[in-house]
Structure 1
Amino acid sequence: MSYAGKDMESSYQVVYDKLWQDIKKRDPEEITLLRAVSYSSATRQFVVLFFNEEYIVDCGKEAIWRQADGELPDVMATIIILNYLVYAQPLRASEPSWVSIKEIPGGMIFYSAFHKTAISVLIEVFGYQVDRLKTVAAFLGGQAGPFGAASVVFRAFPEIPLCVIVWEGDEEVQANATILYDASIDFILPSAISIDLGVYLADRLKKLVGTHYN
């Protein structure tokens, strides 16, 4: 098994390799000043908190694994974590505010695909069984959100909150859902990776429902 994981698709390999090289060009101590991560020069490893779980990012082996059990993250999670480190830069001072994917630069271009791969998944899984959201959200460190009973805030990374909101449907009202980002996401991740983050969260929640309710 390669450290990239069995499911590392060939289309991602070039991106994957470049991200590792870009991380190695950075001063790791600088990254620790800009991101809520730790680094050991002895092991050349970062420790990154991703959705309430610690991951080891090993720059020598070019490997990422979950600290608790050694589980390798999937392709999307791997790319997201690497981007989080590569694009570390000083955060701009701003008031906390929630924005939709349409308000993120470039988000409108991908909105149709985002709705299909993230929003529609949330509606399918929670739209008529909204009580399940908080139950499975707890496994990812989700906390009660500010938009009513069916909203949950997740910390993808310590600096990156996402809010999932579900409006429960019934025989007369169609269910709906959304994912909101803090406006600061624009300064932390590339737009395409921000979108991947929402898709990843929706997929994780769906899998958790499958594990705990089926």
Structure 2
Amino acid sequence: MDEKINAEKNRKDKIPYDHYKTVFKDFNPGVMAKNTGCTFNENAGEILVKLMGQDLMVKYPSGEIYSGDGSQLEAYPPKTLILRYLIHGKGVEPSDKYMTYREVDGGNVYYNNFYGRCILRLSRTFGNDVKRFKKIFEKLGAEKVDMGDAAYKFQFLNNIYVIFAIWEGDEEFPPSSQILFNSNVPFYFTAEDLAVVGDVSIATIAKLTL
């Protein structure tokens, strides 16, 4: 039964990816790279993107995405997100200001979804293991931020910076967390996209071995 559910989810996730592949080919690769702080390798026909410290190659015009070891990126949500990022990027540099999800246009509408999908998940994953949370972000070379019991600023994609903050739980209160986005994110992502940013970030750090 689980295999059937996963196959159906995979099929649904593939539909938007296939759509954005057809859109992606109509954009200039050099301009997309410039507008996201990425690099276009004209000889290889690929845009070099860094996702959570991992080097990825986005083939142009196919939109296929490969890891540095040559293997194809399998999960569809991050692949779709990367194509949308390249297509919609406006070339706005990061600032020293950060915003909550609610402050993003449309954030209030999707907040409940974002809270359960990202903020609550972050709390449950690391709220009782702040030591591991710190070790993971130190391994990633993230910048420590003065917030909560532990907080770090990290680069999600070129030009895209996110802050994860954790407050440990105690006998009175459960663990809590906050996710902040650099003020330039509206020039790259919608509120719905940012839920995927949270999803992918948490899944990536949760899988890291120390």
TM range (shorter): 0.7 to 0.9
Deviation per CA, 1:55-101: give whole Å up to 9, x if none: 0111244311111352524222111111111112232x785311111
Correspondence 1:85-100 to 2 at 5 A: 85-91=86-92, 95-100=95-100
- Taking the aligned partners of 1:39 and 1:95, their CA distance within structure 2 comes to 24
Unaligned runs of 5+ in 1: 1-5
CA distance in 2, matches of 1:7, 1:29: 36
For the residues of structure 2 that align with 1:18 and 1:71, how far apart are their CA atoms? 18
CA positional deviation for 1:166: 0.3
Q: 1:46 to 1:126 in 2, by over 3 A?
A: same
Indicate how the Cα distance of structure 1 residues 23 and 139 shifts in structure 2: closer, same or farther if over 3 A, else same.
farther
Secondary structure in structure 2 of the residue aligned to 1:90: coil
Corresponding position: 1:30 with 2:34? no
Aligned residue runs from structure 1 range 122-133, under 5 A:
122-133=122-133
Q: Note if 1:168 corresponds to 2:168.
A: yes
Distance 1:156 1:117 in 2: 17
Deviations 1:115-143 (A, max 9, x none): 11211121112112211112122454432
Following the alignment from structure 1 to structure 2, what is the Cα–Cα distance between the partners of residues 173 and 124?
13
Distance 1:116 1:85, change over 3 A: same
Please give the TM-score of this superposition, normalised by the length of structure 1. Answer: 0.85
Query: Match of 1:182?
Result: 182
Q: Distance in 1 between matches of 2:66 and 2:9?
A: 14
CA-atom RMSD in angstroms: 2.3
Q: Is the 8 A contact 2:166 2:176 kept in 1?
A: yes
Aligned amino acid, residue 64 of structure 1: I
TM-aligned CA deviation for residue 41 of structure 1: 2.4
- Describe the SS at the equivalent of 1:57: strand
Q: Distance in 2 between matches of 1:33 and 1:122?
A: 32
The equivalent of 1:77 in structure 2 is: 78
Contact 2:32 2:89 in 1 (8 A): yes
In structure 2, the CA distance between the partners of 1:95 and 1:125, relative to structure 1 (3 Å rule), is: closer
The percent of aligned pairs where both chains have the same amino acid is 21
Contact preservation (8 Å) 1:7, 1:75? no
CA gap of 1:52–1:94, structure 2 versus 1, over 3 A, is closer
Q: What secondary structure does 1:76 align onto?
A: helix
Pairs within 5 Å for 1:98-137 = 98-137=98-137
TM-score, length of structure 2 as denominator length: 0.86
Specify whether residues 7 and 86 from structure 1 end up closer, same or farther in structure 2 by C-alpha distance, changes over 3 A only: farther
Contact 2:104 2:191 in 1 (8 A): yes
- The answer for the alignment partner of 2:4 in structure 1 is none
The one-letter code matched in structure 2 to 1:46 is I
Q: Does 1:154 align with 2:149?
A: no
The structure-2 alpha-carbon separation of the partners of 1:139 and 1:94, relative to structure 1 and needing over 3 Å to count, comes to closer
Amino acid at match of 1:123: S
Contact 2:148 2:166 in 1 (8 A): no
Flag the 1:60–1:26 CA change in 2: closer, same or farther, 3 A: closer
Structure 2, unmatched stretches of 5+, are 1-6
Aligned match of 1:3: none
What SS is found at the alignment partner of 2:153?
Answer: strand
Aligned length: 204
Counterpart CA distance in 1 for 2:75 and 2:22 is: 20
